[in-house]
Amino acid sequence: MKQPAHYPQLLPYIRAQGGTIAIALISTLVFTACWPALIKLAEAMAQSVGTGNVEGSTRAAGIAAAIFFVRAIAQYNQDTFMAKAALQITLKLRTTVYRHLQQLSLSYFETTKTGDLSYRLTEDVDRVGELVNKLFQQFIPCVLQLIVVLGMMIYLNWQLTASAVILGPLMAILVGFFGEQLLQYSRRSQNRIADLSSLLIEYLSGIRLVKAFAAEDYTLQQFTHFAEDNRRARYMTERIKAFQIVFVGFLYAMSVVFIFCLGTWQISQGNLTGSSFVGYLAAVGMLIDPISITTSNYNEFKQAQASVDRVFELLNLEPTVVEPLAPVTLPPVSGKVEYQQISFEYVPGEPVLKKLSFLVQPGEMIALVGHSGAGKTTLVNLLPRFYQPQQGQIFIDGVDVATVTLKSLRQQIGLVPQETVLFSGTIAANIAFGQVDYDLAKVEAAAKIANAHDFITELSQGYSTYVGERGVNLSGGQRQRIAIARAMYLNPQILILDEATSALDSESEALVQEALERIMRDRTVFVIAHRLATVRRADRLFVLEQGELIEAGTHAELLAQNGRYAQFYAQQFAPQQV
């Protein structure tokens, strides 16, 4: 099934650079106007040379120099202004795509390959920019040149011109046919390279696991398979381009040969002078580059159409979590949280949470307990609106979270995930992540709360120490404490904790646990419980099963009920006492 092209969606980006493009097009018109003058000049020079007229030849040479000078200036302005416009369009499109990506829900990123998104933001957007640049810098000037030169050829000798362009329709049909083939293989090639990029990111990010399982040969085999698929698609693209260039070039060469034969016959009949034929041949020569460039550009446009489609397919995705039409800023909160009849499903017809309701008072610590898949993580992810529930409302201090700006909501909720993520940059920038101008004193205060200040000051550059990609040059305990400090930088009144101490050594675990206990004081806290100490310390435990809140109460109360929690406790937490 033929996919619709997204070229019309480029028009707003092109219109935004209308002034710069207009200057480039004016230069293009000046550049194009030089061609008829050069054709007539070639005829005049041929006549001067044929009669030995030195003065006429010299005069023609001087005029030619002036025309070529004007043409060079026009071409320079055309190229530079179009490059400027194309790069601005590329920048605007790239930032627009990235901004749109940030607005998409977490569910989209959980089902989409990172390498594919990276390829669309880099290679595909660059190819769209190159398309715009070549459209105005090469394709339009060449089309104008073809029109002007063909018009001049008709003026000089319409019979010769008619014979020359007789193969034109056949050439156009062939160019269109090959272009569709190029589009098909370009789409295939770009999908393959996106898959290859995704695979590469997965294997490099998990290189420790690859080495641990001696899986180098396996990953190389997988990488080679994807690389070979890309090679085949690229090779077919190059074969089609090569065949088209050769075939179109052959037809053009045959046209020129036929012109020579017909021109010789017309001269023999007295219908054409030698100097006029020289001028006509000069015009024919001026068609070589524009035909070649136009054909090449058309091929590139068909290849670039795959990139245009991939970029705008992304931009056409609708986010599932959006800002309200008239959002308000959430004022500083005390931490009262209420869920009212919340239902949520990732896949229609497969509910994850079912009509869930509860009220949490300010400063209360809630431990979420349940088997994997019970809905614990989904429950806390709805609070900062990472997802939008299909039914029900969530209130903070009596304010519906769906009515406030996402920024004012999320800045009042601290998050310490189970899997610590650090970004390339300094330790201070990681703690104050998201803040353009951060306060170093606040950074240090947050680090002290998180038991991170001491080890940070012992590093070579202190808070200015550069953290490598994903923080691989730090221990697990150090990364976790930086994550805690990051959650505390804005001093949020609500915290979401997914405890992650099981993989730490005893000393790191103690430091992290001490930090967690410190940050939970006087705050509303939701904890996905993994440790017995957390369960016992919680003000209340919520037991979830198949998306429903089946039990709620203190640790002692729920044990006394001898219900589902008591069973879960015996299976999951009692062994920790051994």
pLDDT tens per residue, range 297-317:
776 777 777 788 888 888 888
Angle made by CA atoms 49, 51, 53, in degrees to the nearest 5 = 70
Residue-level pLDDT at 131: 84
C-alpha 506/C-alpha 165 separation (Å) is 84
Backbone φ, ψ for residue 23 (5° rounding): -60, -40
Decide: 420 and 471 in contact? Cβ < 8 Å: yes
For residue 500, is pLDDT > 60?
A: no
Q: Confidence class of residue 444 from pLDDT cuts 50, 70 and 90? A: very high
Average pLDDT over residues 260-280: 74
Decide: 470 and 504 in contact? Cβ < 8 Å: no
Q: Who has greater pLDDT, 506 or 258?
A: 258
At a CB cut-off of 8 Å and minimum separation 6, what does 469 contact? 424
For residue 524, is pLDDT > 90?
A: yes
C-alpha 320/C-alpha 528 separation (Å) is 25
Concatenating the DSSP letter of every residue in 282-304 gives HHHHTTHHHHHHHHHHHHHHHHH
Give the tens place of pLDDT for each residue, 53-91.
667 778 877 887 888 888 889 888 988 898 888 889 988
Least confident of 39-48, 93-102, 191-200, 322-331: 39-48
Give the tens place of pLDDT for each residue, 14-55.
899 989 989 988 998 888 888 777 777 766 676 666 566 667
Token look-up 């903070």 returns: 396
The residue type found at 81 is F
Q: Who has greater pLDDT, 275 or 438?
A: 438
HSE toward the beta carbon, residue 454, CA cutoff 13 A: 6
Residue-level pLDDT at 43: 66
Give the tens place of pLDDT for each residue, 225-245.
878 877 887 778 777 777 777
Backbone φ, ψ for residue 306 (5° rounding): -60, -40
Token look-up 């050769």 returns: 246
Give the best-scoring range by mean pLDDT among 181-185, 379-383, 467-471. 379-383
**What percent of the chain is predicted at pLDDT more than 70?**
84
Residue-level pLDDT at 578: 46
Beta bridge partners of 525: 365, 495
Please name which of 507, 459, 462, 458 lies closest in space to residue 480, comparing C-alpha atoms. 507
C-alpha 370/C-alpha 378 separation (Å) is 12
Give the tens place of pLDDT for each residue, 172-200.
666 667 667 766 777 777 777 777 777 77
Please name which of 418, 395, 382, 420 lies closest in space to residue 340, comparing C-alpha atoms. 395
C-alpha 20/C-alpha 512 separation (Å) is 57
Beta bridge partners of 359: 338
At a CB cut-off of 8 Å and minimum separation 6, what does 59 contact? none
Q: Which listed CATH number (1.20.1560.10, 3.30.750.24, 3.30.1950.10, 2.60.40.1080) goes with 7-315? A: 1.20.1560.10
Residue-level pLDDT at 236: 80
For residue 207, is pLDDT > 70?
A: no
- For residue 501, give the DSSP letter: -
Average pLDDT over residues 189-215: 69
| Domain extents in the chain | 7-315
